[in-house]
Amino acid sequence: MHRFKTWQLFAACVLTWGTTWFAITFQVGDIAPVVAVAVRFAVAGTVVLMLSRLRGKPWRFRWIDHARFAFQGAFLYGISYVCVYEAERHVVSGLVAVGYSASPLVTGLGAWALFKVRVTPRSVIGGVLGLPGFIPLKNGKAGSPEHEPEDGAS
C-alpha cells in the first residue's frame, strides 16, 4: 500500500479546502443558500455512493445508524454550510474561511459542555491557532465585499 508523505496530505487538504471557498463564491447570489447546499451535497453524496459501490462497500445499515447519519449530516454539513453560504452573501470569502477555522474549537467546547467529552489541551491549542486570522480584521470594512483598499494598500 502506498503511504503518502505528510506534505502531500497537507497539500491535498489545502487544495481541496482552498478551492471549496473559491467555488462557493460562484454559487452565492444565483440561488438560495439552502438550495445551493442541497445541490452541492446531493452531487457529493451521489459520488460517494458510486465510489462505495465500485469498492464493494456495504450500503445496508440499521435504521438507528441511518438516523445518526442524517443527524450528523444535517448539523455538520447542512446547517453549517447554509450559514457559510449565507455569510458569503455579505462578507468576502476569505473572511468566512477564517471564521470557519474556529469551528473545531467551537465543536470541541460544545462536546465538552453538552456531552462531557474530554477536550485535550492539544485540541484547544489547535483551535486557538486558527483564531489569529481575525487579527488583521481590525475594522468592519475589511469584511465587506464592496471594500476596496484605499491608495492601493491591502
Domain ranges of the chain: 17-89, 92-147
- Rounded Cα distance, 36 and 16, in Å: 18
Within 8 A by CB and 6+ apart from 143, the residues are 91, 92, 95, 137
**In this predicted structure, what is the pLDDT of residue 148?**
44
* pLDDT for the residue 99: 77
In angstroms, rounded to a whole number, what is the distance separating the alpha carbons of residues 34 and 79?
Answer: 9
State residue 53's pLDDT score: 92
Q: Helix/strand/coil (H, E, C) string of 118-150? A: CCCHHHHHHHHHCHHHHCCCCCHHHHCCCCCCH
For residue 59, give Cα distances in angstroms to 8, 38, 41, 56, 114: 30, 21, 18, 9, 31
Instruction: Give me Rg for the CA atoms of the chain.
Output: 19
Cα distance between residue 1 and residue 113, in whole Å: 40
Of 96, 147, 104, nearest in space to 126 by CA: 104
Give the single-character DSSP code of 152.
Answer: G
Query: Strand, coil or helix: what is 28?
Result: strand
Q: What is the predicted pLDDT for the residue at 16? A: 83
Q: What is the pLDDT of residue 63?
A: 93
Q: Which residues pair with 28 in a beta bridge?
A: 31
Q: What was the pLDDT predicted at 47?
A: 93
What parts of the chain have a pLDDT lower than 50?
147-154
